A and B are shown apart, each in its own frame.
Chain A
Amino acid sequence: SQELLRHDEL
């Protein structure tokens, strides 16, 4: 999901 993609960044 978009949320997980965001949380992949540091």
Chain B
Amino acid sequence: MNIFRGIADFSHLAAIIILLHKIWKSRSCAGISGKSQILFAIVFTTRYLDLLTSFISLYNTSMKVIYISCSYATVYLIYMKFRATYDGNHDSFRVEFLVVPVGGLAVLINHDFALLEILWTFSIYLESVAILPQLFMISKTGEAETITTHYLFCLGLYRALYLFNWIWRFYFEGFFDMIAIVAGLVQTVLYCDFFYLYVTKVLKGKKLSLPA
């Protein structure tokens, strides 16, 4: 494991925990897209089915289990426990426009035409666009709580660091995975606009609000 992978994984974990903690402490999921969180739960579930077929390391297994559990806990808090605070009217992104094309692409472009491989590929493609409902919600309401922007920053940082991880692995291990790299690039690009706002506004102590 290289330094980029290490920091990326913990940045990802930080993002997940920041979100859970925010919802739990404020007893509210206002401003959070439940749809993005459901997509992330689907991403983890379909990707980590390999927990049942192969053991890689204690670190690998623990992180996968933590990611899956936290994502389900988040969905539970949004749709069950704090349902009254869920802002469904603003969470109006049509997820079928993501899931259906991504499913089709996973069937067409994959490493091996086998169920687990197709589900793994599906999860990679889906993860690259899963944040769109959340970004759409922010663009619709024109603002985001600062803690929500920290969550998004950690999530974007995780993906950006994975790009460095892949460059590292290509040079030092001769390993690269085209599906993950292309999807990772797409995912990172989606965060660029947000990164700009985060650096120019949030880090200067201002609230993230978009011009009307």
Interface residues of A (CB under 8 A from B): 2-10
Q: Which residues of B contact A2 (CB under 8 A)?
A: 111, 175, 177
Number of interface residues, chain B, beta carbon within 8 A: 19
**B12, B54, B111, B175: which contacts A10 (Cβ < 8 A)?**
B12
- B143 on the A face (CB < 8 A): no
What would 10 A/B residue contacts be, using CB atoms closer than 8 Å? A2-B175, A5-B175, A5-B177, A6-B111, A6-B177, A8-B57, A9-B162, A9-B165, A10-B60, A10-B63
Q: Which residues of A contact B12 (CB under 8 A)?
A: 10
Given A2-B175, A5-B175: A10 touches B67 (CB 8 Å cut-off): yes
Q: Which residues of B contact A4 (CB under 8 A)?
A: 54, 56
| CB closest residue in chain B, given A5 | B175
> 7 closest pairs, A vs B, by CB?
A7-B50, A5-B175, A8-B56, A6-B177, A10-B63, A10-B9, A7-B56
CB neighbors of A among B39-86 (8 A): 50, 54, 56-57, 60, 63-64, 67
Q: Closest Cβ of chain A: how far from B172's Cβ, in Å?
A: 13
What 1/0 flags go to B1-38 for Cβ under 8 Å of A?
A: 00001000100100000000000000000000000000
Given A2-B175, A4-B56: A9 touches B180 (CB 8 Å cut-off): yes
Q: Which residues of B contact A3 (CB under 8 A)?
A: 111
Q: Closest Cβ of chain A: how far from B93's Cβ, in Å?
A: 25
Bound-state Cα–Cα, A2 to B173, Å = 11
Q: Which residues of A contact B165 (CB under 8 A)?
A: 9
What 1/0 flags go to B92-124 for Cβ under 8 Å of A?
A: 000000000000000000010000000010000
| CB closest residue in chain B, given A3 | B111
Bound-state Cα–Cα, A8 to B59, Å = 10
Q: Closest Cβ of chain A: how far from B202's Cβ, in Å?
A: 26
Bound-state Cα–Cα, A4 to B54, Å = 8
